[in-house]
Amino acid sequence: MRKILLLFSLFALISCKTTNKNNSELYVSGYFSEDFNVPNEVFLGFKNDSVYLFNKDSNALLGFKTPKSKTDTVTFDNNKLIIQKSKSNAKFEHYKDNKLNFQAFFFNVKEERDRDSLEFIKKVNHKTFQAEIEKTPSSPNSDFKIFKQLNFNNNEVKITYDYYYDNELMYSEFETHKFEIKKIKQSLFLQILNSETYPNRIYEIIKLKNNQFTLVHYAETKTIYDEYKSVQPNLENSNIYQTCTDFRPKEYFSFDPDIRYKKGNKRLMQLLAKDAPLTKGNGYITIHFTINCNYEIGRFGLEQMDMNYDAAKYDKELIKHLITKIAEIKDWNSKRNLEIDIHYFLMFKIENGKIIDLCP
């Protein structure tokens, strides 16, 4: 991962003149790695016969003349850079000693309007906006309704995740960060500064109105549109939680030994099943969550199945009990410095309405 963070330092070594003709295209940062969806903070621009990279402060990192073909190549020493583009996206590849070092993905901007950062701040400051999202970036989900709220207050934004099941709030968590608004060319972008170590994701702001806007970002090769509308602030009790990175977490089994509950699954099942409400049916309840680098728990997802692995639904009292108990788990078998986040899940086997087994 550090290789990715250091890579763009080599761009300072490369420069050439670009032309100043009229036609131009702008591609916004997507991610470095499809496996981990690592954000980057670099923009890609095309201007007639030139291509260039620049950072979020519009400082040029790399520029070179492009050949007439769709693939643009520059070489220096034992390095080679290749850029391939279409109307909707572009791929940036870096080779060292003829071996692929990494790929970066960019996406064509969705809206070009002459707005500035002050216009966005004026429309959102001291207001709360909410969007329904399919899942958090770190946990699979099919059965929770998840609402993400952004509450802007001068140069800070409070981000709240509310997890609903069967029209009832199961759990709520929040974090607070600084943010920046950047205007690149004629497009407007939001960056939430949740990490000082790793890159922070850049969101394009589109469809800005007095009481609504849309944020566009990219994950798992998809374009994601989060449509925010003005709402009243969340007054429910909420737990402080934040991930340590803004990319897909590692899996618990990626470590040696696997990260697990210190006292074993049998003890964990006893702890979670104690005083658990009964439910109807037989099958499985899987709760996904993220363990952050401080071994704190949040970012939930819910999947339910019957004994034939078809979609099922169990009582909300049991779901709320399990989520609340899981959020309190602290005794993990590892105390290493994680630096990054971990995706974990617990699958509960239900028989005659009771929890009888737990995995992994």
For residue range 212-249, list pLDDT tens digits in order. Answer: 999 999 887 789 999 999 999 878 789 999 999 988 89
Structure confidence at residue 143 (pLDDT) = 98
* Cβ(28)–Cβ(56) below 8 Å: no
Highest mean pLDDT among 105-119, 152-166, 190-204: 152-166
11: confidence class by pLDDT, cuts 50, 70, 90: very low
Structure confidence at residue 29 (pLDDT) = 85
Amino acid identity of residue 197, one-letter, is T
Structure confidence at residue 72 (pLDDT) = 72
20: confidence class by pLDDT, cuts 50, 70, 90: very low
Q: Sign of dihedral through CA atoms 233, 239, 244, 247?
A: negative
More confident residue, 95 or 302: 302
Structure confidence at residue 226 (pLDDT) = 98
Q: Which H or E element spans position 161?
A: strand 156-165
Structure confidence at residue 55 (pLDDT) = 86
168: confidence class by pLDDT, cuts 50, 70, 90: very high
> Tens digit of pLDDT for each residue in 263-306?
999 999 999 999 999 999 999 999 999 999 999 999 999 999 99
Q: Which CATH number is 117-240 given?
A: 2.40.128
User: What is the distance between the alpha carbons of residues 18 and 73, in angstroms, rounded to a whole number?
Assistant: 15
Domain boundaries, the chain: 2-108, 117-240, 250-359
Q: Which residues pair with 110 in a beta bridge?
A: none
Structure confidence at residue 274 (pLDDT) = 92
Strand pairing report for 202-206 and 212-219: antiparallel
- Kindly state the average pLDDT of the residues 327-352: 90
Structure confidence at residue 65 (pLDDT) = 65
**Average pLDDT over all residues of the chain:** 87
Q: Which H or E element spans position 272?
A: helix 265-273
- Kindly state the average pLDDT of the residues 25-47: 85
69: confidence class by pLDDT, cuts 50, 70, 90: low
CA neighbor of 203 nearest in space, from 224, 186, 185: 224
CA neighbor of 232 nearest in space, from 128, 152, 316: 128
R_g (Cα) of the chain, nearest Å: 23
- Kindly state the average pLDDT of the residues 63-72: 61
Highest mean pLDDT among 35-39, 162-166, 199-203: 162-166
- Kindly state the average pLDDT of the residues 70-90: 80
- Kindly state the average pLDDT of the residues 176-196: 93
* Cβ(345)–Cβ(286) below 8 Å: yes
